[in-house]
Amino acid sequence: MATQLAQAGNHLLTELVMEIKSGNLRRCEALGLTDNEIRLLNSLTIEDLHYLSQSPVSIITCQIHRENLRLLLTRAKEVHCQNQMIERCLRLGASIDLLNQYFGMTSLEVSARRRLSGIRGNAGRSQRLSDVQQTELWYRWKEEGMPEPDDPDCLQIMVSCAEKMDVSLTTVWNIVQEWHRDGVLNAADRRNGHVG
C-alpha cells in the first residue's frame, strides 16, 4: 500500500509540475498548495523530477471520508433495491411506458434489460381481465388504501397484485390509471370517509 501511495504521489507531483509549466495553477490551489510550494514545484529540474519519481517517500495520506462512505453505501443499497424492483417489473410484463414513468428508463434501456433477463415475446403488452379478475383487483386495491398512480407506494402494490393474481403488471397499471382518470378512486375514497 505504501509503495502504491508513493507512486501515486510521484505521478501527482509530475502532473502538477506540467500544469504549472502550462500556467494552470488552479489544480495546485485546489489541492491546498501554498504559493511557496507552487514556486518550488515550478523550479524543479529534470534531474529533480527523476529523483522524485524514484523516491519511496509518499506525499499522499490515505483517509476514509466516513460521511461519503456512508452515503455511498446507502446509495448502493438503494440502487440494488431499485434494480430488484425493475427485474420484478420486467418479469411481470411491465411496459416501456410504465418503466419510464417509475424509473425514467428509455426504450433502449428497457430493451437491453429484457434481453439480459431473457424476456422475449409480448413483454409489456396489456391483457384483458375477466369481470371476476377486475373485481378481485378492485378489492385488493381497496384493501391497500387505493393509492393514486403517482403515490410512491403505488408501484409496489401493483407489483404485489400482479404477482398474486398472476396477471400482467401493465394490465394492472392500465386499470389503475383508468380508475384514476374516471375519478373512481376519489369517489370510493370519499365514500369510505377519506379525503380524495
Write a three-state SS string for 127-140.
CCCCHHHHHHHHHH
Per-residue pLDDT tens over the stretch 39-97: 999 998 889 888 888 888 888 777 888 999 999 999 999 999 999 999 999 999 999 99
Q: Does residue 73 share a domain with residue 27? A: no
Q: Are residues 136 and 181 in the same domain?
A: yes
The answer on 161 and 141 residing in a single domain is yes
pLDDT score for 72? 94
* Segment 106-114 mean pLDDT: 94
Whether residue 20 is contained in a domain is answered as yes
47 & 20 share domain: yes
- Rounded Cα distance between 117 and 10, Å, is 45
Same domain? For 98 and 143 the reply is no
* Predicted local confidence at residue 193, as pLDDT: 44
What are the CA-CA distances from residue 170 to residues 83, 129, 153, 166, 177 (Å)?
A: 18, 12, 16, 12, 10
User: Do 136 and 176 share a domain, yes or no?
Assistant: yes
Model confidence pLDDT, tens digit, residues 113-164:
999 999 876 665 667 888 999 999 999 988 988 888 888 789 999 999 999 9
Per-residue DSSP letter, 31: T
Q: Is 124 within a domain?
A: no
Do 185 and 135 fall into the same domain?
yes
Instruction: Choose between 14 and 82: higher pLDDT.
Output: 82
Instruction: Take residue 157 and report the three cell numbers written for it.
Output: 402494490
The three cell numbers locating residue 105:
428508463
Query: pLDDT confidence of 195, banded at 50, 70, 90?
Result: very low
Residues sharing a CB contact under 8 Å with residue 90, sequence separation 6 or more, in sequence order: 99, 110, 113, 114, 117, 119, 123
184/89: higher pLDDT: 89
Flag whether 122 is in a domain: no
The answer as to whether 196 is a domain residue is: no
Q: Are residues 137 and 185 in the same domain?
A: yes
Domain ranges, residue 83: 66-117
Last residue of a domain, one of 93, 117, 141: 117
Q: Is 110 helix (H, G, I), strand (E, B) or coil?
A: helix
101 and 143 co-located in one domain:
no
Distance of CA 176 to the CA centre of its chain: 26
Q: How far apart are CA 28 and CA 17, in angstroms?
A: 9
90 and 39, same domain (yes or no): no
Q: Specify if 125 maps to a domain.
A: no
> How many structural domains comprise the chain?
3
pLDDT, residue 124, reads: 56
Q: Give domain status of residue 123, yes or no.
A: no
> Does some domain include residue 126?
no
- Judged against a pLDDT cut of 50, whether residue 100 lies above it is answered with yes
Tell me the average pLDDT across 101-107. Answer: 95
- Tell me: pLDDT of 180 over 90: no
Q: Which residues contact 160 (CB under 8 A, 6 or more apart)?
A: 144
Indicate whether 61 belongs to any domain.
no
Are 113 and 135 part of one and the same domain? no
